[in-house]
Amino acid sequence: MESTERTSALYFRDFRLFWFSQLISLSGTWMQSVAQGWLVYSLTKSPFYLGMVAAASTLPILLFTLIGGIAADRFRKRNLLITTQALSIVPALMLGIFTDTGVITVYQVIFLAFFLGTVNAFDIPARQSFVIEMVGKGHLLNAIALNSAAFNGARLIGPVIAGLAIAYMGFPSCFYLNAASFIPVIIALSMLKAKGDIRSTQGGFLRDLAEGFYFIKGQKNILYMVILIAVFSLFGIPFTSFLPVFAEEIFNAGSTGLGLLVSATGLGALSAAILLAFKSDMKDKLRFMSLSGLCFSLALLCVSFSRFFAVSLLLLIMAGWGIVSFLATANSFIQLSTTDNLRGRVMSVYSFVFLGFTPIGNFIMGMMSERIGTTNTVAAASLVCLFAAIVFAMKHLKSYN
């Protein structure tokens, strides 16, 4: 019975269909992510353009995700997700065709990354707030942990396959496979009984938008989490965009080495998700978030100084564990603390700082990398994360002394 409770979200038919289809699609997404990063670096040999592409993919989150949160509260979430998944096929297919025909340029990659980011700005708030409607509040943390396990399991599998596919079949295969991977999700979503409740008031766009911010402002614990997430998004999470530089210039490991570096981060993230799935009744969430935030920041700082491939893999496992432990726990804490009629908008604010600030961080770190080098940039950024994590930890750990 205990193991049943720990995986209870999968006993809901709708969530089970949703979860397994996502596992397929996310593997394709990570294949494309690795292939796209390596393609950009092959075309330009520039960390600046790596940052630009990463910024283009996440800038729409900054611009449009708050609107996506309002849409998630005003429209049927299932229908919204079917639309976003269908639109996600377009950039993957176009990247495959452009690369296959030899006409691909870095500017086309930037445009298609921006297009996909715009789709994701509406997809993410709907997806985040739809989970609780499939499983209920009692199984929310378990469902979030299982979703994170799927995301990071795909993050472990996809890059390895991508590295091999690039080496033996070329870049286009990764993009074509990703385009095909969205089809199972669309089929699964069309089979769901849950469609997503419409809870938003008709108070107008600006009022709807402001309500989410006012709620977070009034909840101090949530506000502190959002601030730390913003720091991690600006100075911590963008480090993954520069792993091609580590793979090529520091370790001379090629596309296969890049796949291993990305997969190491995914392995740590997956282990965190599995731990959370088995600790769905976790107490002292604030203390756990404090410790995991410190783990991520310290591991990232050590990565910037490491010159041994195996050591860097271990450190990336620690970094992946830390950031996912923090984010998944914060996600469940925020959702369980939010009223039903505000959940789409509050989660859009969460997504806004989690993903929307990342393009700014990618741009800043890309510019800094051109001037002082990638490793020095990652070191400086990780120190900022460490300082913010210490402040957050001091605020919450002192109550346990």
- pLDDT 10s digits, 155-213: 777 777 887 887 788 778 889 999 999 999 999 999 887 666 665 555 666 777 777 77
Domain assignment of residue 21, yes or no: yes
> Is the pLDDT assigned to residue 265 strictly greater than 90?
no
Domain assignment of residue 254, yes or no: yes
Domain assignment of residue 198, yes or no: no
> Is the pLDDT assigned to residue 2 strictly greater than 60?
no
Name the residue range of residue 313's domain: 2-193+205-400
Domain assignment of residue 200, yes or no: no
Domain assignment of residue 48, yes or no: yes
What is the C-alpha radius of gyration for the chain, rounded to an integer number of angstroms?
Answer: 20
The pLDDT assigned to 4 comes to: 45
> Is the pLDDT assigned to residue 336 strictly greater than 80?
no
Domain assignment of residue 341, yes or no: yes
Helices (DSSP H) in 246-342: which residue ranges?
A: 254-277, 285-305, 309-336
Please compute the mean of the pLDDT values over residues 83-97 and round it to a whole number. 94
Query: Which H or E run includes 80?
Result: helix 77-100
Please compute the mean of the pLDDT values over residues 318-323 and round it to a whole number. 93
CB 54 within 8 A of CB 201: no
Report the predicted TM-score, pTM, of the whole model to 2 decimal places: 0.74
CATH of the domain at 293: 1.20.1250.20
The pLDDT assigned to 228 comes to: 93
Q: What residues contact 231, with CB distance under 8 A and at least 6 apart? A: 384, 385, 388
Tell me the C-alpha distance between 110 and 93, whole Å.
15
Q: Which of 22, 99, 23, 62 is nearest to 352 (CA)?
A: 62
Counting the structural domains of the chain, the total is 1
From the CB of residue 201, how many other CB atoms can be counted at a distance below 10 Å? 12
> Is the pLDDT assigned to residue 381 strictly greater than 80?
yes
**What secondary structure does DSSP assign to 352-394, as a single string?**
HHHTSSHHHHHHHHHHHHHHH-HHHHHHHHHHHHHHHHHHHHH
Q: How confident is the model at residue 281 (pLDDT cuts 50, 70, 90)?
A: low
User: Which DSSP category does 202 fall into?
Assistant: S
Point out the least confidently predicted range of 21-35, 84-98, 150-164, 371-385: 150-164
Domain assignment of residue 77, yes or no: yes
Domain assignment of residue 220, yes or no: yes
Q: How confident is the model at residue 118 (pLDDT cuts 50, 70, 90)?
A: very high
pLDDT tens per residue across span 7-40: 577 888 888 899 999 888 888 888 888 888 888 8
